[in-house]
Amino acid sequence: MFSLTSHSLRSSYAPKTSSVSVSPSGEIVEGSSVTLSCSSDANPAANYTWYKDNQTLIQGPQGCYHFTSISSKDRGSYSCKSENQHGQLDSKSVFIDVQYPPKLPSVSVSPSGEIVEGSSVNLTCSSDANPAANYTWYKKDEDSPEASGQNFTITDFRAEHSGNYYCEAQNERGRHNSPSHLVVVAGTWRGTTGTVAAGALVVVLLSVFILIRRKRASKQPCEPGERPDSREQHLSTQRQPEEQQDDLHYATVPFSRNHTDSIYCNVRPARPTRRKEESVVYTAVKFKSGSAAARSETPAGEDSAALYSTINKTC
């Protein structure tokens, strides 16, 4: 009977408590290992459901939720629910604050585009960081900072202010620089571009002019029978003084007046030698009246009216 009484004293009940603990306690740095534990008083043992920002994560008998390498995306409020067949109980939420160095900062410029000289320009730097980052402004290729703070304002923008600006975001976990951002006074960059373009155009035109001159020089014709490499020698010969040039020779062939018919004269210059000979021949032919019969009486090949004259002169 005693044993039966002992069994009757054991009772079942719904979860009476439910709470979440974090290990390690204190500040949580990105990349570290973190464990969340949910505990409850329930009989029989409870099952657990985990939530992040009221969104369900996992369900199961395990009362632990583990991060092997916690990141900034894991930052948020966590809670658990303990539940058995007799009832359920929700825990209070615990906020997990994950600290991390600044992410890549971004720079915005207002107004955007080219800046009118004398106007006001505002640069803004922003970065995701925990804790919040501090900002410092720099001009590229200059060591000393231009300003500090998330906003950098130039009230009277001049040509000397043109250049590449960037910001540095820093907190106790690290620092990160933004990409440089070009800020230009209207007309400064455009004028530089125009100068470069004009110089390039002059180089192109000069190259085209030289190319055309070379093509024209290569297309000048040579005299028949003259090789291109002897053209200069031929030109130098033409430039010789008149006293060094060949004398001209003429030949006059008279004919009897007894012949009235046309007489053909075939006059050919003597073929020049290939070395240094040159022939110039001129022929003048005169016709005199005469009968056709007289011409017919003269044997072929002995006609005295057909005369040939060739004068050769060796240069």
pLDDT at 63 over 70: yes
Count of all residues that appear for the chain in the document = 315
Rg (CA), the chain: 56
Q: Which of 49, 58, 37, 108 is nearest to 81 (CA)?
A: 49
Closest CA to 121 of 167, 160, 157: 157
Under 8 Å between Cβ of 154 and 139: no
List the single range of 92-106, 124-138, 260-274 with lowest mean pLDDT. Answer: 260-274
Q: Is the pLDDT of residue 241 over 50?
A: no
Residue 104: pLDDT over 80: yes
Question: CA quadruple 131, 132, 134, 139: dihedral positive or negative?
Answer: positive
Tokens 């009772």 -> residue: 11
Contact in structure between 133 and 149 (CB atoms under 8 Å): no
Tell me the residue type at 259.
H
Cα 251-255-260 angle, rounded to 5 deg: 140
pLDDT at 13: 92
**Is the model's pLDDT at 220 over the cut of 70?**
no
Query: What gap in Å lies between CA 157 and CA 117, rounded to an integer?
Result: 6
Specify the pLDDT at position 312: 53
8 Å CB contact between 80 and 63: yes
List Cα–Cα distances, 304 to 160, 224, 253, 259, 270, in angstroms: 105, 37, 11, 10, 22
- Top pLDDT among 117 and 253 is at 117
pLDDT at 84 over 60: yes
Whole-number Å distance between alpha carbons of 116 and 301: 106
Percent of the chain, pLDDT > 70?
A: 61
Q: Residue 71: its pLDDT value, please?
A: 93
Which of 78-87, 281-290, 300-309 ranks highest by mean pLDDT? 78-87
What structural domains and CATH numbers belong to the chain? 11-99 (2.60.40.10), 106-188 (2.60.40.10), 247-315 (no CATH)
Confidence at residue 9, expressed as pLDDT on a 0 to 100 scale = 52
What pLDDT score was predicted for residue 262? 46
- Predicted confidence (pLDDT) per residue in 185-207, tens digit: 775 444 444 455 566 777 778 88
Q: How high is the pLDDT of residue 305?
A: 45
Predicted TM-score (pTM) of the model is 0.52
Q: How far apart are CA 114 and CA 188, in angstroms?
A: 9
Contact 166, 143 (CB under 8 A): no
Q: Evaluate if residue 291 carries a pLDDT over 60.
A: no
Looking at the predicted structure, is the pLDDT value of residue 309 above 50?
Answer: no
Per-residue pLDDT at 254:
52
The better pLDDT of the pair 315, 217 is held by: 217
d(CA 133, CA 126) in angstroms, rounded, equals: 9
pLDDT band at 242 (very low <50, low <70, confident <90, very high): very low
Q: How far apart are alpha carbons 167 and 177 in whole angstroms?
A: 6
Contact predicate 148/137, CB 8 Å? yes
Q: What is the pLDDT of residue 292?
A: 42
Q: In whole angstroms, how far apart are CA 180 and each of 9, 123, 191, 245, 252?
A: 76, 12, 22, 80, 98
Summarised one tens digit per residue, pLDDT across range 120-155 is 999 999 999 999 999 999 998 888 899 999 999 998
At residue 120, φ and ψ (nearest 5 deg) are: -100, 140
Instruction: Give me the chain's average pLDDT, please.
Output: 74
Count Cα atoms within 13 angstroms, Cβ side, for 146.
Answer: 19
